[in-house]
Structure 1
Amino acid sequence: MAVPSFLGTSIRREIKTIEMHTSGEPTRIVYAGFPFLTGTLLEQRAAAKAHHDGVRKSIIHEPRGHKDMYGAVLRPHTEHVDSSAAHMGVLFLTHEGYSTMCGHATLAVSRLLVDCCASIDDPSSPLSQEEAIFPQRTALQFVPSEGTSGEDIQGDVEVRLHVPCGVVRVVVPAVRTHSGFRADSTRRIRYLSVPSFAAATDITVAIPLALQWPALAAQGRTSVVADVAYGGAFYLFVTATALGFPASLEAPDLAALDEATRKVKTAFNADAQLKQRYLHHPDHADLQFMYSVFVTEPGSGAAAPGTQGADTGVCFFADQQVDRSPTGSGVQARVALAVAKGQRSMGQSWTYHSLLSRASEGSRRGFVGTPVEEVAVGERKGVRVEVSGWANYTGVATWVVEEDDDLGEGFDFEALGSRSR
């Protein structure tokens, strides 16, 4: 999208994005204008945090974003892309910083990359914007489904994404066209997770007096029982009743849940022994932090066809962003946790809902999580999880920051007041 010429002399920064959502959760995908980064993907992530964090704030914070905005930056050169182990690298952006794994953005980015191949077989096509967005697009292979015929042949395309926690394999349903192939939005995109595992079950998190919230204090309780699991990031899982609220998440008090989950996370992070014991990953020291508190309601919501049941949950991640989707990396962790507790067996599929997906279209917008392979993660037993869902486009944008525009660099309006309730 071209910027009008009359803006040219006043623009200090210009960033181009494709806007998508996955079950309602936004993904602002940056394909041009992000500062030049080199090195491994984790080195690029560190450099972005240390030297270019203002760029993140300018597109995720207000006035262009909001408290719950999410973003992804395409990285066409990483160690795994350059070795052909991956097709594209991705950095994930939150209101707080840079997350290590994001399932909903993985689904969105993968669909975008496949759609860049719509004219891949057209020899008369000039150097296109699609090729500029996705230089490795000719490496993608369309595999037709058995028994399909006609003008538009159905099939699948595998996309290998290099994300901060590893390489994720994504299968995007596609349709063959006269000049290439494009994503088939009528079928679920699915990806195979990085090794996920339960770090702890039924642990007690002490809540000091200064961090207690009204619902907990009213019951005379000073602790919360929770689980810890890893799905590309570490999650603390807790039921609503463990927090002192009604078991049902039907029309919950989000302000009260926000306060409770924030304080539980603070209490967990203040306990050095809990952090040292449970936030350990044998391969990735950079990933050893509590990313989210996930409030769950087991057994609720409509089960998608082919699944044996459903759960609903609401995810408060990073600096208390609320995920509109069922949270892909959270599904990975929840499946690993269910397997560790003996509640799920290999190959048993389950539907996972957010508050929005449960309320909007029955089972269609929920994610499906299936444990498909047992793996070792250091000395722990873990699993690889297949997660599936849909992603849709919402727009295309060119964002600009003018010279001498302080507020245009991004601001957090809520930080001007207290979030305590």
Structure 2
Amino acid sequence: MDIVENLSASKGAIRCVDMHTTGEPTRIVLNGYPALSGTLLEQRAEAKRSHDHIRRKLLLEPRGHSDMYGAILRPDTELTAKGEAEMGVLFITNDGYSTMCGHATIALGRFLLDTHDKTVFPRRDEVRFDAKTRTASLGLHCPCGLVEVTVPTNEDGSRSDPTRPVSHISVPSFATGLDIQIDVPEELWWPELAGRQSVTADFSYGGAFYCFIPAEELGFPQGLKGKVDVAAMNTTTRRLKAAVNSNPRLRHLFSHPDHDDLGFLYSIIIVDKEVGEPIAESTQAETGLCFFSDQQIDRSPTGSGVAARVALTHTKGSFSARERVTYHSLVSNSLGGRGGFIGSLHEEQGQTKDGFPIVRALVEGYASYTGISSFVVEESDALGDDGFLFDKL
């Protein structure tokens, strides 16, 4: 047997499809992952408890890198059993297991429509096809809840149409705090703070909890224009996140009303409303630089972050109910706007206990395939069944 065939067929091989959304990777785990049981959140807990070496093996070096992202397909969840979703998914990062991911949802929408392998997607025939609009729809069960995905297709619905955007309707999203003063302890000060002892930011939920702060507020007067000092912003957001997490007074800003497992601050997004051009018949644009998990930098405009920003903007009354807004990343700006996400308000669903509107956002974007792979570990491998990050050694 040829070495390539031998590796692909080797015991313990994990088969994946790789995609990207505005440059942000999604490594989709098709098969080879151990069986998990229970609800999706229970499966997430089991994956963390018993199989975290697989996350490390697939995402970290030498098979991945510090900014790799992944999605583990879970065909059997409580919502797929009820017929409310066609597929479940667990999202994995350089540091753990996120509760929602918009850029991966966009990629998964295309992949799940394109695959006809019933061993990978047993409910493929249950995907709903609309011949008039040439779109297909499916329910994706994410750890944060049910996300409704719409995928543009060819004429008979057998393949996705990559020339049109995949869209999804978010889980209920809501602001949790406006203009919140964050005290920064002296041991966490950064140079650009320039003697100040606090900063002001907003907090919002879009399937995960985000802190949004203008670049100028952090001490970067040029914002996200031109040459961005990403290294300095990395240091700044790491320290800001630590300041938030260490302050019990701020804990309510990232506490989920229904599930404790969802209650953690996932990301700091630096925002600049003066940078970026509107695309796709949108009326305004803004740019964000997202640091999430253990300081991963999102190359995409961050789909769940867009849902949180739509909720936040609606709370502030900054745009009309049906207005489309372009959300850019540094990558999409570098591409002349290509790859920007479009966010808009889908519907309002009441209010939080603090009086903030609960909304569902519509998020649109594009994803592309980059490759397929089978990952293996030889018995003689000095690294063992694991992965590493060089800067963490």
- TM-score range normalised by the length of the shorter chain: over 0.9
Give, in angstroms, the shift of residue 356 of structure 1: 0.3
What secondary structure does 1:225 align onto?
A: strand
Structure 1 segments unaligned to the other structure (5+ residues): 118-129, 146-153, 417-421
1:133 corresponds in structure 2 to 120
What secondary structure does 1:77 align onto?
A: coil
Give, in angstroms, the shift of residue 382 of structure 1: 1.3
Contact 2:237-2:268 within 8 A present in 1 as well: yes
Rounded Cα–Cα distance in structure 1 between residues aligned with 2:326 and 2:8:
49
2:4 corresponds in structure 1 to 4
What secondary structure does 2:375 align onto?
A: strand
Rounded Cα–Cα distance in structure 2 between residues aligned with 1:241 and 1:80:
43
What secondary structure does 1:401 align onto?
A: coil
Matches within 5 A, 1:1-400: 4=4, 6-7=6-7, 13-117=12-116, 130-145=117-132, 155-177=134-156, 181-216=158-193, 219-250=194-225, 251-275=227-251, 277-360=252-335, 362-376=336-350, 378-379=352-353, 380-400=356-376
Letter in 2 for 1:170: V
Higher CA-based Rg: 1
State, as a whole percentage, how many aligned pairs show the same letter: 49
**Per-residue CA distance 1:245-266 (angstroms, 9 max, x = gap):** 1243122101000000000000
Give, in angstroms, the shift of residue 133 of structure 1: 1.3
Rounded Cα–Cα distance in structure 1 between residues aligned with 2:3 and 2:320:
53
Rounded Cα–Cα distance in structure 2 between residues aligned with 1:162 and 1:215:
41
**Per-residue CA distance 1:135-166 (angstroms, 9 max, x = gap):** 10010121112xxxxxxxx6010011000000
Give, in angstroms, the shift of residue 405 of structure 1: 2.5
**Per-residue CA distance 1:37-72 (angstroms, 9 max, x = gap):** 011100000000000000000000100000000000
Contact 2:7-2:13 within 8 A present in 1 as well: no
Structure 1 segments, 4+ long, off by >6 Å, are none
Letter in 2 for 1:195: P
Give, in angstroms, the shift of residue 176 of structure 1: 2.5
Rounded Cα–Cα distance in structure 2 between residues aligned with 1:109 and 1:286:
23
RMSD: 1.6
Q: Give me the TM-score of the superposition, normalised by structure 2.
A: 0.95
Compared CA separation, residues 254 and 8, structure 1 to 2 (3 A): closer
Q: Which moved more, 1:49-58 or 1:278-287?
A: 278-287
Structure 2 segments unaligned to the other structure (5+ residues): none
Rounded Cα–Cα distance in structure 2 between residues aligned with 1:311 and 1:55:
37
Q: Give me the TM-score of the superposition, normalised by structure 1.
A: 0.89
Query: How many positions carry a matched residue from both structures?
Result: 388
Contact 1:12-1:401 within 8 A present in 2 as well: no
Contact 2:7-2:376 within 8 A present in 1 as well: no
Q: Which moved more, 1:403-412 or 1:59-68?
A: 403-412
**Per-residue CA distance 1:69-101 (angstroms, 9 max, x = gap):** 000000010010111100000000100000000
**Per-residue CA distance 1:214-260 (angstroms, 9 max, x = gap):** 111xx211111111000000001111111111243122101000000
What secondary structure does 1:183 align onto?
A: coil
Rounded Cα–Cα distance in structure 2 between residues aligned with 1:352 and 1:391:
16
Give, in angstroms, the shift of residue 345 of structure 1: 2.4
Letter in 1 for 2:145: G
Compared CA separation, residues 7 and 232, structure 1 to 2 (3 A): closer
**Per-residue CA distance 1:395-419 (angstroms, 9 max, x = gap):** 0000001224342510111113xxx
Letter in 2 for 1:315: C
Contact 1:75-1:90 within 8 A present in 2 as well: yes
Rounded Cα–Cα distance in structure 2 between residues aligned with 1:365 and 1:198:
26
Contact 2:214-2:223 within 8 A present in 1 as well: no
Rounded Cα–Cα distance in structure 1 between residues aligned with 2:238 and 2:155:
47
Rounded Cα–Cα distance in structure 1 between residues aligned with 2:378 and 2:222:
49
Rounded Cα–Cα distance in structure 1 between residues aligned with 2:74 and 2:101:
15
Compared CA separation, residues 174 and 210, structure 1 to 2 (3 A): same
Rounded Cα–Cα distance in structure 2 between residues aligned with 1:4 and 1:193:
41
